[in-house]
Structure 1
Amino acid sequence: MARIAVLGSGSWGTAIAVMADRHGHQVSLWSVFPEEVDCLRRDREHKKLLPGVMIPDSVRITNDIHTAADADLVILAVPSFAVRSTASMLRKVLPDGAVVANLAKGFEQDGTKRLSQVIAEELPQVRVVVISGPSHAEEVSRGIPTTVVSASHDQEAATLVQDILMNPDFRVYVNPDIVGVELGGALKNIVALAAGICDGMGLGDNTKAALMTRGLTEIARLGVKMGAQTETFAGLSGIGDLIVTCTSMHSRNRRAGILMGQGVPTKEAVGRLSTVEGYHATYSAKLLSEQYQVVMPITEECYQVLFNNKDPQKALADLMVRPKCSETEHTWLDK
């Protein structure tokens, strides 16, 4: 049994807390919002995000950040925009060598820093791990078989996360390529938004398959330029996460895209969903593509649709008439 502190009581945080408790761990679930803590304590259920999933009485629900002080594993389950502020709160709480695993998939808002970099800046004394892969909270919370990746520069820390969280319903693989794992998890949200737009426009399976395939090529193209390993993008945090996010209605990115494809203005569509990481990731990816001089046509068109009000039909047409090129690329086959 391990002591686990889950920071963030949204759908992912609640799901991972319920799962860890189910498999015998001592779990605390933290929220920065006292009113949310009161509701969760009273209802033992996140009625808005995970209706029907009961939080066992054995899960301690609290707004005291010091619950993380003596944890064997601290899990950050807050949205990307709250990662820095939450990590900052932990600076005087966590001891040297503590293991902090991050669940959010994105970049620091309005910037290009990966979230593991943000955590390392705020908490230089800890060992940072990233958990990523095709893993909807709605399914994890209900014990539906799921596989993810635990990635870190510190293999001992990545293996610790694997040892603690792996169970018959939740299989964990380790991967030393934290750059590739993070980029796969963040950038696939852009493609999921685009896939949703295609669905909202009433386009077919051919279009979505092409979008996902060429989207993965873009992700790998940038990732390799940033130092990631090509094989990572063929794994769970690459193609695995891309498939589930582009095809499932659990995906808030896809659902926001569907609204946009149906003509709902971008800000309104994003506002209807609680978290749409792909919106902010598109801005960050645009900056990264320019910084690393990487051609990312799908990302570019998504940026124009999201931030410059380009008509999605025109964006699709422009993608289809790009200059001829070969499908295979040196950056995809060999770093």
Structure 2
Amino acid sequence: MTGSGHKPPSGWRIAVLGGGAWGTALALAMLRAGHFVRLYARDPETVAAIDRGENPRFLPGIALQAGIVATSDIEAALDGADCVLAVAPAQALRAMLATAKAHMPKDVPLVLCAKGIERDTGALLSAIAGEILPENPVAALSGPSFATDVARGLPTAVVVAAGNEGLAADLAARFSAQNLRCYSSDDLIGVEIGGALKNV
């Protein structure tokens, strides 16, 4: 595992799929790292609240920095994205990716941000992603992190894993910011299993 050494040019268009606590916190983290962020949430009330500067249902009392574009239109969220963060819970990932499939930009990295194993099939989340979106390289973001800590900007370390070591290192460098340190790993399956076991 390696740390994010150099900082490549940022300014990616990042789509965050999931308006819960972790999705909102990661949207803030990506904004702080210098990216343009669209956040997709199914619930229009959550979208409206984020536009007002808070996600009271999932992150009460935490002011959201201006700049996150929230939407309940998944096509709009994915339009022109350079990278997609899937932040649906493990058991909802398959349905979310199936919904996203028609609008998913080809060849852009898909970063899985939930921990878990699909209950009905025993499949790892990367296997589900590979089945539904075979043209998108897959990575996973995992670590001993808490949404409230990340949203508040407290120091946090995570790992970004992908089968392609260069992709993992690039993503880790692009996601790192002042209070978020991302390390990279080429052990995608190991990181996924570790995250799932940690949650148990």
TM-score by length of 2: 0.89
Q: Deviations over 1:168-195 (max 9, x none)?
A: 21111111111110011001222xxxxx
Large movers: runs of 4+ above 3 Å: none
Q: Cα distance, 1:148 vs. partner?
A: 0.8
Tell me the residue number matched to 1:96: 106
Does the 8 A contact of 2:81 with 2:105 survive in 1? no
Higher strand share: 2
Secondary structure, counterpart of 2:166 in structure 1: helix
**Structure 1 position 111, deviation (Å):** 2.8
Q: Look up the match of 2:141.
A: 131
Which residue does 1:50 correspond to in 2? 59
Distance in structure 2 (CA, Å) of the matches to 1:48 and 1:69: 27
CA contact (8 A) 2:113 2:140 kept: yes
Q: Percent identity?
A: 38
**C-alpha contact 2:107 2:136 (8 A) present in aligned 1:** yes
Indicate yes or no: 2:12 matched with 1:2: yes
Q: Residues 113-164 of structure 1, C-alpha deviation per residue, up to 9 Å, x if partnerless?
A: 0011111111011000000111101101111111111111122321231121
Superposition pairs of residues 145-224 of structure 1, within 5 angstroms: 145-190=155-200
Q: Do the aligned residues in 1 keep the contact of 2:37 with 2:69 (CA within 8 Å)? A: yes
Whole-angstrom CA distance in 2 between matches of 1:62 and 1:108: 27
Q: Is the 8 A contact 1:128 1:157 kept in 2?
A: no
Question: Does the residue aligned with 1:101 lie in a helix, a strand or coil?
Answer: strand
12, 15, 29: which one aligns with 2:22: 12
- Classify the secondary structure of the residue corresponding to 2:145: coil
Equivalent position SS for 2:129: helix
Aligned match of 1:65 in 65, 68, 74?
74
Aligned residues between the structures = 189
Please list, as runs of the form range in 1=range in 2, the aligned pairs for 1:219-298 lying within 5 A after superposition: none
Q: Is the 8 A contact 2:116 2:124 kept in 1?
A: yes
2:125 is matched with which residue? 115
> Whole-Å Cα distance in 1 between the matches of residues 176 and 58 of structure 2?
24
Gaps of 5+ in 2: 1-10
Larger radius of gyration: 1
Report if the CA contact (8 A) 1:90-1:123 is conserved. no
Please identify which structure carries the higher helix content. 1
Q: Which residue of 2 is the match for residue 272 of structure 1?
A: none
Q: In structure 2, the residue corresponding to 1:109 is in which secondary structure?
A: coil
Aligned equivalents of 2:57 and 2:42: distance in 1? Answer: 17
Partner of 2:44: 34
The residue number in structure 1 matching 2:7 is none
Mapped to 2, the partners of 1:137 and 1:83 lie a distance apart of 19
* Structure 1 counterpart of 2:3: none
Counterpart amino acid of residue 103 in structure 1:
C
Give the structure 2 partner of residue 266 of structure 1: none
Q: In structure 1, how many angstroms separate the alpha carbons of the residues matched to 2:118 and 2:62?
A: 30
Tell me, in whole angstroms, the C-alpha distance in 2 between the residues paired with 1:167 and 1:85: 31
TM (norm. structure 1) is 0.54
